[in-house]
Amino acid sequence: MISGNLLLTHINIVRSGKVILNIENLQINSGDFLGIIGTNGAGKTTLLRLCCGLIKPNKGTIKLDDINLTNLNAWKKSDFRKHIGYIPQQAEYNPDLPFTLREVVAMGRTSIKPLLQRLDNNDYEIVDEWIDKLGLADNRNQTFRSLSGGEQQKALIARAMSQNPSILMLDEPCSNLDFNWKYQITDIIEQLYNITKVTVLMVSHETSLLPSCCNRAILMHKGSLIADGDTDNVLESSEFQQAYGSQFETVTLGGRRYTIRK
Amino acid sequence: MDSYFITVIIAGVIAGASTGMLGAFIIGLRMPFIGTCISHASMAGFIWGGLLSFNNPTLWPITTSLGGIVASIISALSLATIREDKTRLDKNVGLAIIFCFMLGITFLGLGLNQGSRTDMLGLLWGNILFVNTTRTITIAVLAVLLVLFVVLFNKEMKVLLFSRSIAAATGVHESFVYSIFLTLCGIILAVNMPLIGGLMIFSLITCPAAAAYQICKGYVPVVITSACFGMLSTLAGFFISYYLNLPTGACIVIVSVVIFALTTLYKHISGQND
Residue B20's closest CA among B238, B210, B261, B215? Answer: B210
* B170 contacts A81? CB cut-off 8 A: yes
What average pLDDT does the segment A148-176 reach?
Answer: 92
Q: Which residue of A has its CA nearest to B210?
A: A97
Which of the 8 DSSP states describes residue B115?
A: S
Residue B56: per-residue pLDDT: 80
Write a three-state SS string for A146-215. Answer: HCCHHHHHHHHHHHHHHCCCCEEEEECCCCCCCHHHHHHHHHHHHHHHHHHCCEEEEECCCHHHCCCCCC
At B198 the three-state DSSP class reads: coil
* Residue B36 vs residues A96, A135, B68, B98, B110: alpha-carbon distances, Å: 23, 45, 14, 10, 18
Residue B65: per-residue pLDDT: 83
Chain B residues with beta carbon closer than 8 angstroms to that of A109: 155
Of A146 and A2, more confident: A146
Q: Which residue of B has its CA nearest to A53?
A: B169
CA distance A249 to chain B (A): 36
Residue A8: per-residue pLDDT: 95
Residue B125: per-residue pLDDT: 66
Residue B83: per-residue pLDDT: 66
Q: Please report which confidence band the pLDDT of residue A105 belongs to, taking 50, 70 and 90 as the band edges.
A: very high
Pairs of CB atoms within 8 A across A/B:
114
- Nearest by CB to residue B173, choosing from A78, A83, A145, is A78
ipTM of the complex: 0.84
Report, in angstroms and rounded to the nearest whole number, the Rg of chain A calculated over CA atoms: 18
* B213 contacts A54? CB cut-off 8 A: no
* B175 contacts A74? CB cut-off 8 A: yes
Q: Which residue of A has its CA nearest to B218?
A: A99
Q: Within chain B, which residues score under 50 in pLDDT? A: none
* Structural domains of chain B sorted by starting position, each given as residue range(s) with its CATH number in brackets: 3-198 (1.10.3470.10)
Environment class of A66 (CB within 10 Å of its CB; exposed 0-12, middle 13-18, buried 19+)? exposed
* A93 contacts B166? CB cut-off 8 A: yes
CA distance B206 to chain A (A): 15
| DSSP line for B136-183 | HHHHHHHHHHHHHHHHHTHHHHHHHHH-HHHHHHTT--HHHHHHHHHH
A94: which residues sit within 8 A by CB, 6+ positions away? B28, B30, B161, B162, B163
* Contact between residue A141 and residue A102 where contact means Cβ atoms under 8 Å apart: yes
Q: Which amino acid is at A227?
A: A
Residue A13: per-residue pLDDT: 94
Residue B258: per-residue pLDDT: 97
- Nearest by CB to residue B217, choosing from A83, A143, A163, is A143
Residue B88: per-residue pLDDT: 67
Chain B residues with beta carbon closer than 8 angstroms to that of A83: 171
Q: How far apart are CA B220 and CA B228, in angstroms?
A: 12
Q: B25-63: per-residue pLDDT in tens?
A: 999 988 888 877 887 888 888 888 888 887 787 887 788
Q: Which amino acid is at B226?
A: S
Q: Which amino acid is at B128?
A: I
Q: A224-242: per-residue pLDDT in tens?
A: 999 999 999 999 999 999 8
Q: How far apart are CA B75 and CA B81, in angstroms?
A: 10
Residue to mutate among A50, A107, A117, A120, with most B CBs inside 10 A, is A107
Which of the 8 DSSP states describes residue B128?
A: G
Residue B216: per-residue pLDDT: 93
Chain B residues with beta carbon closer than 8 angstroms to that of A142: 274
Write a three-state SS string for chain A. Answer: CCCCCEEEEEEEEEECCEEEEEEEEEEECCCCEEEEEECCCCCHHHHHHHHHCCCCCCEEEEEECCEEHHHCCHHHHHHHHCCEEEECCHHHCCCCCCCEHHHHHHHHHCCCCCCCCCCCHHHHHHHHHHHHHCCCHHHCCCEHHHCCHHHHHHHHHHHHHHCCCCEEEEECCCCCCCHHHHHHHHHHHHHHHHHHCCEEEEECCCHHHCCCCCCEEEEEECCEEEEEEEHHHHHHCHHHHHHHCCCEEEEEECCEEEEEEC
Least confident of A48-62, A69-83, A194-208: A69-83
B145 φ, ψ (degrees, to nearest 5): -60, -40
Q: How open is the CA angle A152-B21-B270, to the nearest 5 degrees?
A: 60
Residue A226: per-residue pLDDT: 94
Q: How open is the CA angle B149-B163-B200, to the nearest 5 degrees?
A: 55
What average pLDDT does the segment A6-12 reach?
Answer: 94
- Nearest by CB to residue A52, choosing from B169, B213, B216, is B169
Residue A157's closest CA among A146, A168, A143, A167? Answer: A168
Q: Which residue of A has its CA nearest to B273?
A: A146
Q: Which amino acid is at A50?
A: L
Number of neighbours of residue B231 by Cβ within 10 angstroms: 21
Q: How open is the CA angle B160-B179-A75, to the nearest 5 degrees?
A: 80
What average pLDDT does the segment A246-251 reach?
Answer: 85
| DSSP line for B216-260 | --SHHHHHHHHHHHHHHHHHHHHHHHHHHT--HHHHHHHHHHHHH
Residue B77: per-residue pLDDT: 86
